[in-house]
Amino acid sequence: MITITPSASGEHMHDDRRIVEQRLDRVLAERLRPAYYAETLPCDIAVWHAPGEPVPVAEALRADYSPAGIGEAWGPAWGTSWFRLAATIPPHWDGRTVEVVVDLGFDADRPGFQCEGLAHSADGTPIKGINPRNTHLPAGRNSAGRQRTWYVEAAANPIILGDNGFQPTDLGTKPTTATPPLYRLRRAELAVLDEPVWQLVQDAEVLDQLMRQLPADSPRRHEILRALERMLDRLDLHDITGTAPAARDELADVLAGPAHPSSHVISAVGHAHIDSAWLWPLRETVRKVARTVANVTALMAEHPDFHFAMSQAQQLAWIKEHHHQLYGRVRTFVHTGQFVPVGGMWVEADTNMPGGEAMARQFVHGKRFYLEEFGIETREVWLPDSFGYSAALPQLVAQSGSRWFLTQKISWNQTNKFPHHTFWWEGIDGTRVFTHFPPADTYNSEITGAELAHATDNFAEHGYATRSLLPFGHGDGGGGPTREMLARAYRTADLEGSPRVRLETPEEFFTAAEADHAGPAVWSGELYLEMHRGTYTSQAKTKQGNRRSEHLLREAELWCATAAIATGRDYPHDALDQLWKQVLLHQFHDILPGSSISWVHREAEAAYARIATELEAIITGALRALAGDPAGPLTFNAAPHARNGVPALGAATANTAAAATATRHPDGTTTLDNGLLRVTIDHRGLLTSVYDHAAEREALAGPANLLQLHADHPNAWDAWDLDAFYRHHTRDLTELDELDLDNGTVRIRRRFGKSTVEQRIGLAADARRVDIDTDIDWHETEKLLKAAFPLDVHADRSAAETQFGHVMRPTHSNTSWDAAKFEICAHRFLHVTEPGYGHALVNDATYGHDVTRDTRPGGGATTTVRLSLLRAPRFPDPDTDHGHHHLRYALVVGADIGDASREGYRINLPERTINGSRPVAPLVAVDNDAVVVEAVKLADDRSGDLVVRLYESRGGRARARLTISFPATSVTRTDLLERPLAEPDATTDAFDLRLRPFEIRTLRFARLAGT
């Protein structure tokens, strides 16, 4: 019997908090946690090192294993080793909690970023994942006397982002030769879990973490301190198993104290944000998802009140394809309400750069997967980690049938703290969506006392609202929640001094939060992330592949739908569905932004090449079916605007216009003139004048198409960040190797550093547009290349195309919010104007831009627009963008916003001319250019109905007459998923539309049978 002697008189009259806390730290680290497993037995170990890429479990079970032991070296980078573990459970362990404890060679601080494992039973059934903070496998309570065998698929994922920070590494490239083993097996034991000890550790950790967040003079802090001290006194460190229950008793009273009635309420939602690719390739994400799903479904079997939110339909599709047993578990727990599909998107996509229709299809394919697989209509859009959020999203969220939006990444802002956590987010069209931004500032919470305290203290809506959401579980590299996290949630459900933690679903949180906060603040416009601005430019070939794929998909759907209606040709539903999903996958927020390892981006480039080949074949087949006999040139125009006499979305014989004249002058200058513009190019190859004949004014305020090179050394996150001080060092590239005239265009060649650039400058016939085609052989490191256009307009804001419209941003830096937007994203155009006169820069694959204002010596402001062409960060891909690039951009002079939109489509949707004999009438025509047809396709349900998506493009109200060229019985307004929002209207071949600014409208035309 142990007797606890009361403290000597006066012993606690002095502050001994640090001593008690240090005592607790040591006991937990050196005695209590190691005492989880008091009785252990070694497993028999064998290993098979899989050659090459991962193999299915059935192949691994048949493999030839070799004896192995603790200390076994395994794992060349990205390799896989299968460990076979065998043991017999002793009879005297019967009825006790027996586990297998495995340490593959973990660094305990990096769950999800290093070696990981998935354990299987002897018949190949997946059991659960193994990672640095989740090392146990269940062996059962009543298995004594039986020999058991487990197989662990161990993935030797290298640590790419290590302790030294953002250092270049060649480990991000798929190896062609084996590297030395990265890991050694440290532990493989059969063990009895001492549950009272484990529970004692959970009690002590929760109280310790809470105590350290309370004020030093808080009575509650001192109450917890003394209880922990009594626990330590009660514990015999030489008999932890025997004294743990009594030690727990000393903590019972302080754990039973209820939370204050006004305590903040935190809805804890299990989650594992899994990057679909990042510091690992796509194929490894398939395995990360399997490990995570195995973990969380194992937890669900033990904890019926545990809910887990899974946010990317693509990842569940991988489970369905590769792990049918795990998918069966998912279905079971979806039915119980524990496994909760959320997000409504195919992947957690970047939202800055995907085009309008691609962004819509993220919702279409994501939500439809959940509906078809589980019968679930997801209502929350879950995007914690994307790098800023487009102002077009609220309308897309609403039109997808969703209701709520969640984000987290805005907590990374470098300059301005975002002012709200629960608010209405208003998009460019005025649509509002109820939005939550978890105040814990993490989507990988472990439900620690520090996280709970920060969530409470940081919450911006105190006095108006009382609750927030906390996503908990190891993420980025996966893993998900653990039993320790659940233990913390249970203990903080109603604990004095702590917020009240409730295990809930996202829907339960959002429903309660809407009722809790009757009048949230409104944030209008984009959620601009004041960080990661370099992602608009890094990995140019990935971005170019995305842009090209989006437009090829538009063409394929348009011409296949036209051919199906006009000729009866089969519509390639299956092929287009799969191609769309490939493009959507590569819009994930670490692929399209260019922030993944080399392996990911080289695979993306190969995927885009395959996509282009398939789509070109589909398009060619449809055009040939439409064109008829090869009688003469027939031009197809997939753009939403007529050009050269060819109607929008149709085909005809194109008009021809006189080419511009080109003249070389003795002083070394060259002029191009097409009757609308006169362009002057000086001896350095710079645009020195672009004169608008009709307006009788000069477009430029200085030499334009000036290539500028900047040193690019961000403080962190190389591929992600572009820090403002890059502008402190600028080198103008004015040295010229060659300038000559070639077929009416000016050809310029320059060398700089280790790179060369060749540009062709041409003046379009019958258009106020200067075309610039650029070929760059780029071999710089830590450099940023921009193209500058000083424009003679006084613009106080710029208009950058985004999905289904454009977003306005100030060109000045009056406030810290304005100044932080020193690099901005635009799609096909960026437009600047003064009242009555403006210019646009359009491009075929560039997203990063900056806009600044200057003052003339004699007064008056000018506006400089620069395109960010290429970067060369060293991490995580040290060879980022090295190689050849072909980029196209153009200056559109005297342009209004409609001209900018039209020319943006033109440069991305070049006409196609083939030999044919019959013009093709557009399936749909609109008589107002402000109303842009974004998609024309057959309905996804294969009914043969035609679906048309269009939008108001200029930011004003629009009336238009829509005409169809095929027999239809009715037209129905639908949501993005082509579901009716209203009763069908009978239709003739024409009807009127009224659209509000930037409104998206989806129309479904029911066709007459047999047409």
Residue positions annotated with a catalytic role: 385
Residue 361 to residue 940: CA distance in whole angstroms: 11
> What is the SS3 string spanning 565-589?
HHHCCCCCHHHHHHHHHHHHHCCEC
Which residues, including other chains, have CB under 8 Å from residue 617's CB and lie 6 or more apart? none
Burial of 693 (0-12, 13-18, 19+ CB in 10 A): middle
State the pairing for strand pair 265-271/116-121: unpaired
Residue 802 to residue 788: CA distance in whole angstroms: 21
User: What is the DSSP code string of 583-612?
Assistant: HHHTTBTTTTTS-S-HHHHHHHHHHHHHHH
Residue 343 to residue 136: CA distance in whole angstroms: 31
CA distances from 217 to 211, 220, 223, 626 (A): 11, 9, 11, 82
Burial 860-880 (b: 16+ CB within 10 A, else e): ebbbbbbbbbbbbbbbbbbbb
Residue 14: CB atoms within 10 Å: 7
SS3 of residue 508 by DSSP: helix
Residue 663: CB atoms within 10 Å: 10
Closest CA to 257 of 197, 206, 306, 213: 206
Backbone angles phi and psi of 314, in degrees to 5: -55, -40
DSSP 8-class letter at 305:
T
- For the chain, how far is it from start to end, CA to CA, in angstroms? 93
Which residues, including other chains, have CB under 8 Å from residue 557's CB and lie 6 or more apart? 576, 935, 936, 937, 938
Backbone angles phi and psi of 824, in degrees to 5: -130, 160
Contact of 776 with 884, CB cutoff 8 Å: yes
Residue 954 to residue 952: CA distance in whole angstroms: 6
Within 218-281, residue ranges assigned H as helices are: 219-234, 240-249, 252-256
User: What is the DSSP code string of 537-556?
Assistant: TSSHHHHHHHHHHHHHHHHH
Residue 128 to residue 117: CA distance in whole angstroms: 9
CA distances from 999 to 480, 594, 1002 (A): 39, 31, 10
Q: Is the dihedral of CA 172, 177, 178, 180 positive or negative?
A: negative
Element (H, E) at 711: strand 706-711
Tabulate helix, strand, coil % of the chain (nearest 5).
30, 35, 40
Residue 987 to residue 690: CA distance in whole angstroms: 49
Contact of 113 with 161, CB cutoff 8 Å: yes
Give me the residues paired with residue 709 across strands. 731, 785
Range list of β-strands (E), 893-975:
912-916, 924-926, 931-938, 946-952, 958-964, 968-974
Backbone angles phi and psi of 477, in degrees to 5: -95, 5
- Does residue 168 have a cis bond before it (omega within 30 degrees)? no
Contact of 966 with 924, CB cutoff 8 Å: no
CA distances from 234 to 12, 201, 868 (A): 18, 14, 66
